Structure 1
Amino acid sequence: MKAALCKTLDGPEGVVVEDVADPVAGPGEAVVRVKAAALNFFDTLITRGKYQTRPDLPFSPSGEIAGVVESLGPGVTGIAAGTRVAAALGYGGAREKVVVPAASLIPIPAGVSDEVASAVSVTFGTAMHGLRDRGRLQPGETVAVLGASGGAGQAAVEIAKLMGARVIAAARGDKLDVCKAAGADETVDYDSADLKQALKDLTGGRGVDVVYDCVGGTYAEPAVRALAWEGRFLVVGFAAGDIPKLPLNLLMLKGADAIGVFWGEAVRRDPARHRVNMIDALDWIAAGKLAVRIHAALPLADIRDAIAILDRREAAGKVVLTL
């Protein structure tokens, strides 16, 4: 079978497509024939050895897949060969077949395509874990999403709206239309506005209840300064590249919380909660309540180009590999 393999930590240039042996399911496992494998910004980091997960070389990028169960290992019950499924892997999805713990497989509802199903776990899973499980978002509260035009940000906008929040999306001016299309009530342009003042102005001086920060860097501190009393600052990612250092007195003065959102570890520690979130998300997509935006769908052979799209910050939505 074909597999994309990261052989050197040089980003896209270190990834090649080669033939490897077909996998065999062990006890409690299933072999899934992959139909689509989604990429995320962390694939630009993991292929450079700069992500918190550092697999041994060679490894396959892509942390989420959709496909069809091909075979089952000993002791697997509750799922049959031929079932369409999605799964979160962490990494290893960019190959024609993968071995997955059977308990991690989520059935794909009718009407949801493989490309869409493959692109749900990381972005919508993180948004639901962040806003629902960690941020305790309530109907009527205001959420500011930083990095709202990317796949993770768009998912947060949509989930927050479904949860009854008012959403302010922050992004660069040429991508604000993407945020509006995802359902944002208001937008802030990083390039032409002072972030803190803009968030204050849009909330009548009160501040925002929740900040969902996918970006980090220089935007984190002004966003914290724009929190309302007892606001929650959700630390989701660092797409800007720099990990900010926050003055802790700001949290004290606002009675605010800074909350880590480590979705991958949460999935490992509490797979049952992740399963509930994913079933809800896929059902909402099937019902037309959520829309997964696919920026590009490229064949496995073009994985270097696919990762490069994310590297150049060009993606307005998910980048998916098709197999």
Structure 2
Amino acid sequence: MQAISYTAFGAAADVLELSEIPTPTPKPGEVLVRLAFSGVNPSDVKARSGARPGVTKPPFPRIIPHSDGSGVIEAVGDGVPEESVGARVWIWNGQWQRPFGTAATHICLPASQAVRLPDAVSLETGAILGIPGLTASHAVFGGGEVAGKTVLVQGGAGTVGLLAVQLAKLGGARVIATARGDGITAASKAGADVVLDYSGDDLAQAILTENNGAFVDRIVEVEFGLNAAVDAEVITPNGTIAAYGSAKEMTPTLAFGPMLFKAATIDILLIYLLPMAMRDQAIQHLHNALEQGALTCPVAETFALADCAAAHVAVEAGNRAGAILLDTQA
């Protein structure tokens, strides 16, 4: 099989290389998936560059990056039904705590990590469901149903944000999103009832004004460090801030008092570690939305497998209007 891999941290163009390696054979309980697409996420880029806190060298001698992907099951190991061969699947945690991920033509992994893709859903969409999809689903529904509630999506034009807006709206919530520039239009088209420019003056007051003076019930938060003060001001008593990112301020200073007197819950999400019961629930919400045709997963650009370094650069550049994918068979 062909695969992109690296053996040392560094710039994408310096360390990522395309090579031919033996196609693995599935062990008991595993499946071999012929990959169609690989999803490239910020976490993959940070892992390759060595930006994860406390990690000074790659955890394995050679790493095939990326945790998300989609494709068709080509072979199964003992204990996996033969009728699984030919099934279209999407993949989660492809390269989490294991060396070989989805930036390749094939991957072997436990059968439970290859989820059957609903018939009407494209393989491109399947490659977005692992990290962005599950993060959005759990961030919105991790505390229960949201019907009749107000959900604030901070960063509503990012890949996770756009999915969260759609899921919250489908779940019956009133959705307020924040974005900037063209992202304001994108979040509005995704279904947000109100979209506010996050760079505007007194964002907290603008949020409360657009919610008729009421606090919001749940916040889906992409930049916790930057937005903690605003979140504390607008969250309802006993509300939840579901924070999945804080890239611009990883060591925030938190004003405890405002959070205390709201009895706010700060729920920090790392989708790689989601317990199976919660993961199954998040998957069900995603599949329900997809089967209803109520969830669009935008793709900004697709690169050939050999152009993986360029795909990483595109993710690093930010300001994308959707996900970045690799066509692993191109």
Taking structure 2 as the reference length, the TM-score comes to 0.90
Identity rate, percent: 28
Question: Would the aligned equivalents of 1:89 and 1:100 in 2 still touch at CA under 8 Å?
Answer: no
**Residue 238 of structure 1 is aligned with which of 225, 239, 246?**
246
1:280 Cα deviation after fit: 4.0
After superposition, give the CA deviation of every residue in 1:221-269 in whole Å (9 maximum; x if it has no partner). Answer: 2222221222211121123253423222222111221112222101xx3
Question: Would the aligned equivalents of 1:85 and 1:106 in 2 still touch at CA under 8 Å?
Answer: yes
**Residue 315 of structure 1 is aligned with which of 314, 317, 320?**
320
After superposition, give the CA deviation of every residue in 1:31-82 in whole Å (9 maximum; x if it has no partner). Answer: 1010011111212211122237964242122111111111111121275211
Equivalents in 2 of 1:170, 1:65: separation in Å?
A: 29
After superposition, give the CA deviation of every residue in 1:119-170 in whole Å (9 maximum; x if it has no partner). Answer: 112112112222212x334211111111211111111111111111111111
Question: Would the aligned equivalents of 1:109 and 1:283 in 2 still touch at CA under 8 Å?
Answer: no
After superposition, give the CA deviation of every residue in 1:191-222 in whole Å (9 maximum; x if it has no partner). Answer: 22322222122123322111111123322222
**Residue 77 of structure 1 is aligned with which of 78, 81, 85?**
81
Count of aligned positions: 319
Q: Which ranges in structure 2 are unaligned for 5 or more consecutive residues?
A: 96-100
Larger mean Cα displacement after TM superposition, 234-243 or 168-177: 234-243
Equivalents in 1 of 2:254, 2:266: separation in Å?
A: 10
SS where residue 261 of structure 2 aligns? helix
Equivalents in 2 of 1:241, 1:33: separation in Å?
A: 39
Output the amino acid matched with 2:117: I
- The 3 A distance-change label for structure 1 pair 72 and 182 is same
Equivalents in 2 of 1:137, 1:198: separation in Å?
A: 26
Equivalents in 2 of 1:139, 1:29: separation in Å?
A: 38
Equivalents in 2 of 1:256, 1:276: separation in Å?
A: 24
After superposition, give the CA deviation of every residue in 1:270-297 in whole Å (9 maximum; x if it has no partner). Answer: 2x44234324423422431111111111
Equivalents in 2 of 1:23, 1:299: separation in Å?
A: 22
The 5 A counterparts of 1:103-114 are: 103-114=112-123
Alignment-derived partner of residue 111 in structure 2: 102
Question: What's the Cα RMSD here?
Answer: 1.9
Alignment-derived partner of residue 309 in structure 2: 304
Output the amino acid matched with 1:304: A
SS where residue 254 of structure 1 aligns? coil
- The 3 A distance-change label for structure 1 pair 77 and 166 is same
Q: Which ranges in structure 1 are unaligned for 5 or more consecutive residues?
A: none
SS where residue 198 of structure 1 aligns? helix
- The 3 A distance-change label for structure 1 pair 198 and 79 is farther
Equivalents in 2 of 1:50, 1:252: separation in Å?
A: 32
Alignment-derived partner of residue 199 in structure 1: 207
- Give runs of ≥4 in structure 1 deviating > 4 Å: none
The 5 A counterparts of 1:1-323 are: 1-13=1-13, 14-51=15-52, 55-77=59-81, 79-91=83-95, 92-133=101-142, 135-266=143-274, 269-270=275-276, 272-323=277-328
Larger mean Cα displacement after TM superposition, 280-289 or 34-43: 280-289
Taking structure 1 as the reference length, the TM-score comes to 0.92
Question: Would the aligned equivalents of 1:125 and 1:274 in 2 still touch at CA under 8 Å?
Answer: yes
Alignment-derived partner of residue 98 in structure 2: none
SS where residue 222 of structure 1 aligns? helix
- The 3 A distance-change label for structure 1 pair 236 and 104 is same
